[in-house]
Amino acid sequence: MRFTWLPAICLFFLSACSSPADPTLAAADRFQGFLDALPEPGPGFAIVAVSSDEVLISHVSGARRASTAAPMRADTPVYIASQTKAFMGLLAARLDADGVLSLDSTLADHWPDLVLPGDLDPADWTMRDLLSHEFPLRAPPVAVMEAYVGEVYARDYPRLLALYGEVREPGFSYSNLGYNIYSAILMDVTGRSWQAWLDTAVFDPLGMANSSAITSDLEASTLSWGHIWQGEALGWYEMPPKPDAIMQSAGGLFVSPEDMAVWLQMILRREGPAGSGLSAEIIDEGLAPAAALDRDPEARMPCEAYALGWGVCEFQGTRVYQHGGGYTGTRSFMAVAPELDVAIAVFANSTRETSWLRRETVFQFLQEVMQDPGAADAAQERIEAFESRLAQHHANALSREAEARANPRWGGWDWSPAQSEISAFAGEYTTGEPYLDLAIVEDRHGLHLVWGHWRMQLEPATENVFAGHPGPFQTMEPVTFLRGLDGAVTGLEYDGHVYQRVGID
């Protein structure tokens, strides 16, 4: 049974836990004033900020789904995308400490028959390298499959890495692939999925009852949806929660704001509750720098290293561990400053300037806690800047779309096939690799490319070329159909792959 690990009095009655003279509590009051004056990005927005003993801020507003106006709440599960990596890093540190899967074991230890492209030797690369983005291999089709299309089975990873792997320059390079490989090896070693391990080793001990790596484990009506702003005429375009099959280990968690408070407090305290098995040594392992980064002197929060799912950074001379998350229709961010004994997380269920907002909100909170004399002016500047950005947001999106449509690849949009011609493209297509199989389907809205859970509407552009639209203001992708000598559709080209139409010899 799960339990909630937070002092209830401190959660709801901060005055019972802190003196009014507490400078951190005073900083939280100033920060709350900033949030109250900040325009809402919509539909929903949430922020939690904590110290090791208290929930300083629990700011939740708006809707978890625009069309129903169902309210965002502190217990609403929100998709946090790449912040999943920090949870996986802690899990990996625990499994290392418990002797389940060593961080220093190599690819060759687990997959002795693995053959990698180029001169990469599987014996040279460890689980720690995978989780700190040091493994110098790319495999773009695999990353796309995991995040957008469907489950990639652990047993197929060695074959897919050999088939699609591309050697890259050595050193740190952020991607999802290392985490996906780690979770495949974990499945091979233990016979249990990363989701099951995360549940029993992290969520259950912490009492995170409204968080899961399996969407269907959560009540569907309580979940936050993603949103894209289409302008006043069309309003919000809704993105449904990710299905189980694409909740992958580099980006596959729903976490509620109140559960995130528990997580952040554990990081600050450097221990989980009694009997949880989450010790200071495990947490320190997860936060220990594992890969060096090129420090950007112009960055507001420059990062010098990457740990197991955390950027190791600095803000105005103070060490900060941070990680963001982004997926279609949602943005999030979390930051932990142990020297200040504070941490903060931001959730937005839209992409309406929220990439900018999530970081600036964190900066404002840290400035308040640090009693930066420029914090009040910075707050006003951020409020005004965000108002301006919201006003310009849709115009910018329209401008980018117009520029994309003017690309010569679309041939001036000079093709208007008849309905009978459109129907001729429908069918199933294959490259011979089952993971890449797709279908072209027709409905009353026209043609769609369907690849697992990935779906694009196809708009005729120039003869035999369609523009694939994944959603409003998203990158259009060309789908080029191939014909035989008799004019019949025999295949297509998409995403660098050539497909043959099924049933055509």
- What is the chain's mean pLDDT, rounded? 94
Q: What 3-state class would DSSP assign to 32?
A: helix
- Nearest Cα neighbor of 87 from 206, 209, 225 is 206
User: Using CA atoms, how far apart are residues 321 and 244, in angstroms rounded to an integer?
Assistant: 29
Q: How confident is the model at residue 505 (pLDDT cuts 50, 70, 90)?
A: low
Which residue type occupies 233? Answer: A
pLDDT digits (tens, 9 = 90+) for 83-129: 999 999 999 999 999 999 999 999 999 999 999 999 899 999 999 99
User: Using CA atoms, how far apart are residues 142 and 136, in angstroms rounded to an integer?
Assistant: 15
Q: How confident is the model at residue 56 (pLDDT cuts 50, 70, 90)?
A: very high
pLDDT of residue 297: 85
* Mutual angle of helices 375-405 and 354-369, in 10-degree steps: 170
Is pLDDT at 4 greater than 70 in this prediction?
A: no
Backbone φ, ψ for residue 112 (5° rounding): -60, -20
Is pLDDT at 304 greater than 80 in this prediction?
A: yes
Is pLDDT at 222 greater than 90 in this prediction?
A: yes
Is pLDDT at 158 greater than 70 in this prediction?
A: yes
> DSSP string spanning 278-301?
--HHHHHHHHS--EE----TT-SS
251 DSSP 8-state letter: B
52 DSSP 8-state letter: S
Question: Which helix or strand (DSSP H or E) is residue 255 part of?
Answer: strand 254-255
* Cα 54–chain centre separation: 27
pLDDT of residue 13: 32
User: Using CA atoms, how far apart are residues 170 and 187, in angstroms rounded to an integer?
Assistant: 27
Residues 6+ apart with CB under 8 A from 240: 225, 226
User: Model-level pTM?
Assistant: 0.94
Percent share of the chain, pLDDT over 70: 96
Backbone φ, ψ for residue 469 (5° rounding): -105, 105
User: Maximum CA pair distance of the chain?
Assistant: 84
- CB 211 within 8 Å of CB 223: no
Is pLDDT at 6 greater than 70 in this prediction?
A: no
**Alpha-helical segments (H) within 165-219:** 177-190, 194-198, 204-206
User: Using CA atoms, how far apart are residues 441 and 433, in angstroms rounded to an integer?
Assistant: 20
Handedness of CA 422, 427, 433, 436 (dihedral sign): positive
Which residue type occupies 58? Answer: S
Domains and CATH numbers, the chain: 8-90+193-395 (3.40.710.10), 409-501 (2.40.128)
